Amino acid sequence: MNHSNEIAIGFSNIVFGLVFLMVAASLLTWIERRLLGFWQDRYGPNRAGPFGVLQVVADGIKLLFKQDWIPPFADRTVFVIAPAIAMITVMLAFAVIPVTPAIGIIGNLNVGLLYFLAMSSLGVYAVVLAGWSSNNKYALLGGMRAAAQMVSYEVFMGLSLVGVVMLAGSYNLTAIVHSQQHLWYVVPQFIGFAVFFLGGLAETHRLPFDLPEGENELGAGFHTEYSGMKFGMFFIGEYIGIILISAFTTVLFLGGWYGPILPPFLWFALKTGVLVAFFVLLRAALPRPRYDQFMAFGWKLMLPLTLINILATGAVMLCWSTS
Amino acid sequence: MLSVLLTLWYTFLHLFHRKVTVSYPDEMPYLAPRYRGRIVLTRDPDGEERCVSCYLCAVACPVDCISLQKAEEAGRWYPEFFRINFSRCIFCGFCEEACPTYAIQLTPDFEMSEYNRQNLVYEKQDLLISGTGKYPDYNFYRVSGLAIPGKDKGEAELEREAIDTRSLLP
Amino acid sequence: MNSTFDISAIVAILATAMTITRASAVHALLYLTVSLLAVALVFFVLGAPFAAALEVIIYAGAIMILFVFVIMMLNIGDVAADLERSWLTPSIWIGPSFLAVLLAVELCVVVAAGGYGHRAGSVVDARAVGVALVGPYMLAVELASFLLLAGLVAAFHLGRSITATD
């Protein structure tokens, strides 16, 4: 009886979390356009409803009612699976985020950090398979760029977190947040923070690093052939990805729910929100690098930087513990 | 690296700049008097049509959206019909420049959407306005040397009296 | 927990079987990925969460992606699928499947005898894995790193541009 009760609570937690995420992500489509507007001296969508919030509803209705077309030359099964993978992997990754000690699904998972990396590495499949199954040369080019980009940046993303894991002594995200009670890891691990954030940018293929899409070069890249709600799933998946990376940066580097005066949940939401806004600012301000520049930036700057960071962290910790 | 951060900062500061957007239906934008919008046919200060059916506007029009037919009545030329297809018009203003009598003019009005394309074909009664447009005092027949009923040659403004070439004596 | 183990084990076996029988290379790879994920779940249930996470990150997330990448570059069309199909004749698959059935029977016998009861051992966490790797298995780790270095050098040698050498 007690056990089934627990399962029911867990299940309702999951459902609530997913609904909250979907709403947040769809709101984010509107928030992003408003913010982009402000940063470009425009208003952004402000006509539908108060401040234009109902634009989200309008877009949702439009996406749902568009013709859901599968090209005859596409590989049907894979074509349908790909957008589902895009959504599922990012949503699954949220399971391990400890929003506050009380809110969260499995924030106490002992390999929480690795779980997140696993899910983000599975996210590559969505883009690659979408590119391949569309059977379209631009989509294929986008998919290949995505594969190379995401597999490369995953390496730095994983390595940039090693410093945090060393300092916290755990892969458990709740434990990592607890260990930041006095000092956020963004201070001792600033390089890790920067690399992780840039890696997250590449992982969600957001604007400065949106080479898999690259509108002006590849049409729309991997989702050229997608329409209707399948495109919508990539679209929402991308926004959930933004929230995901922001939430993880908060948990790993910005002290999670810790903060004075305000309740923990608000602190978490505030930190995540600022990071999401920063994602949008990056989109508003920076142009897309060339592909070879981008890869060179990764392998020739980020990789040595993270390795040096690990080395330095290890050395400092060793000196600290022996002295 | 520094330049990237500066770019981010300057872009962020745009949050506090004045918006360039004019929220149009709520807040009407200022349109200069010489804005090139909907085309009208004007009348002279006496209330007569200015158009003399010279066809110069139709010739000048790069998209051939103007068509008209000359008619004549008591020495004055006027268009029998005058038709502008605004679904073709590109509002270039060449017709206005070509017009020798300031008859055809572009106005600061652009709100002419229609659900039916055919409704964008404006006939003479749609085009003709009762005023003089941008040139209130100009009257072609009063300044030109053309003889019309009530005004003979040499009686126009700023015109010298007509010289009788047959009676020219040393 | 037992049902989780059983289901994921069955999924792993089925997915592997599908991997072998698919004619389209990408479909086969997808089934292989599913199989790897199922195996990761098995690891997790058996109390090795670190191994499970690494299974997903490294095998499913990195290696299989590289396979997919290569297959995308090769652009295998219907011709290759037909070729694959022609290879799936009984004379080819009867031998391996006979051996596989032998193993399966053996497994069934073991399971039926109740010889698989050592499931819920102690949880092997990341720390234990790390201690094991730099402790008793140091030599194996070093050998693996030699192998990786050799692979890296070979890849560099193959990948250098020809115009630069002459």
Q: Please name the member of B12, B18, B20 whose beta carbon is closest to the beta carbon of A281.
A: B12
Q: Is residue A208 part of a domain?
A: yes
Interatomic CA distance for residues C51 and B83, integer angstroms: 81
Q: Is residue B4 part of a domain?
A: no
Which value, in Å, is the radius of gyration of the alpha carbons in chain B? Answer: 24
Cβ-based contacts of C50 with chain A (< 8 Å)? 111, 114, 171
DSSP C104-146: HHHHHHHHHTTTT---S-----HHHHHHHHHTTTHHHHHHHHH
**For residue C164, pLDDT beyond 70:** no
Q: Is residue A163 part of a domain?
A: yes
pLDDT of residue C118: 54
For residue A214, is it left (φ>0), alpha (ψ between -120 and 50) or beta? left
Contacts of A104 (CB under 8 A, 6+ apart): A96, A97, A98, A174
- The β-bridge relationship of strands B104-106 and B76-85 is unpaired
Closest C-alpha among C14, C18, C19, C59 to residue C36:
C59
Predicted model pTM: 0.80
Instruction: Taking the CA atoms of C42, C47, C53 and C55 in sequence, report the sign of the dihedral they define.
Output: negative
Interatomic CA distance for residues A123 and C111, integer angstroms: 36
Contacts of B52 (CB under 8 A, 6+ apart): B76, B77, B78, B100, B101, B103, B140
Note the pLDDT tens digit of each residue in B65-102. 999 999 988 788 889 999 999 999 999 999 999 999 99
CATH of span C2-165: 1.20.120.1200
Cβ-based contacts of A40 with chain B (< 8 Å)? 14
The predicted model gives A222-239 an average pLDDT of 86
Closest Cα of chain A to B97: distance in Å? 36
Would the CB atoms of A124 and C123 count as touching at under 8 Å? no
Q: Is residue A223 part of a domain?
A: yes
- ipTM of model over 0.90: no
Q: Is residue A62 part of a domain?
A: no
**Total number of domains constituting chain A:** 1
Closest C-alpha among A109, A148, A166 to residue A314:
A166
The predicted model gives C154-160 an average pLDDT of 87
pLDDT of residue C115: 55
Pair B148, B75: CB distance under 8 Å: yes
Identify the domain containing residue A317 by its residue range: 70-322
Note the pLDDT tens digit of each residue in C16-59. 888 888 777 888 888 888 899 888 888 888 878 888 888 888 88
DSSP C19-51: HHH-SSHHHHHHHHHHHHHHHHHHHHHTT-HHH
Q: Which tops the pLDDT comparison, B39 or B155?
A: B39
Pair C64, A114: CB distance under 8 Å: no
Q: Is residue B129 part of a domain?
A: yes
Would the CB atoms of A39 and B23 count as touching at under 8 Å? no
Would the CB atoms of C61 and A122 count as touching at under 8 Å? yes
Q: B46: domain CATH number?
A: 3.30.70.3270
Which chain A residue has its CA at the smallest distance from C77's CA?
Answer: A135
Q: Is residue B30 part of a domain?
A: no
Interatomic CA distance for residues A210 and A220, integer angstroms: 10
Cβ-based contacts of A46 with chain B (< 8 Å)? 23
Q: Is residue A15 part of a domain?
A: no
Q: Is residue A8 part of a domain?
A: no
Would the CB atoms of C61 and A147 count as touching at under 8 Å? no
Closest Cα of chain A to B107: distance in Å? 28
Q: Is residue B118 part of a domain?
A: yes
Tokens 């479909």 belong to: C27
**For residue B170, pLDDT beyond 80:** no
**For residue C117, pLDDT beyond 70:** no
Closest Cα of chain C to A228: distance in Å? 25
Q: Which two tokens stand for residue A291?
A: 């592909």
Identify the domain containing residue B82 by its residue range: 35-137
Domains of chain C, by residue range, sit at 2-165
Cβ-based contacts of A284 with chain B (< 8 Å)? 11
Q: Which tops the pLDDT comparison, C142 or C81?
A: C142
Q: Please name the member of C57, C68, C71 whose beta carbon is closest to the beta carbon of A118.
A: C57
Q: Please name the member of A75, A122, A128 whose beta carbon is closest to the beta carbon of C56.
A: A122
**Total number of domains constituting chain B:** 1
Is B151 strand, coil or helix? strand
φ and ψ at B139, to 5 degrees? -135, 110
Q: Is residue A138 part of a domain?
A: yes
B3 CB within 8 Å of a chain A CB: no
Q: Please name the member of A40, A46, A282 whose beta carbon is closest to the beta carbon of B14.
A: A40
Q: Which two tokens stand for residue B30?
A: 């200022």
Cβ-based contacts of C125 with chain A (< 8 Å)? 110-111
Would the CB atoms of C30 and A128 count as touching at under 8 Å? no
**For residue A214, pLDDT beyond 70:** yes
Residues of chain B numbered 18-37 and touching chain A (CB < 8 Å): 18-21, 23
Confidence of residue C1 (pLDDT cuts 50, 70, 90): low
Pair A238, A312: CB distance under 8 Å: no
Q: Is residue A34 part of a domain?
A: no
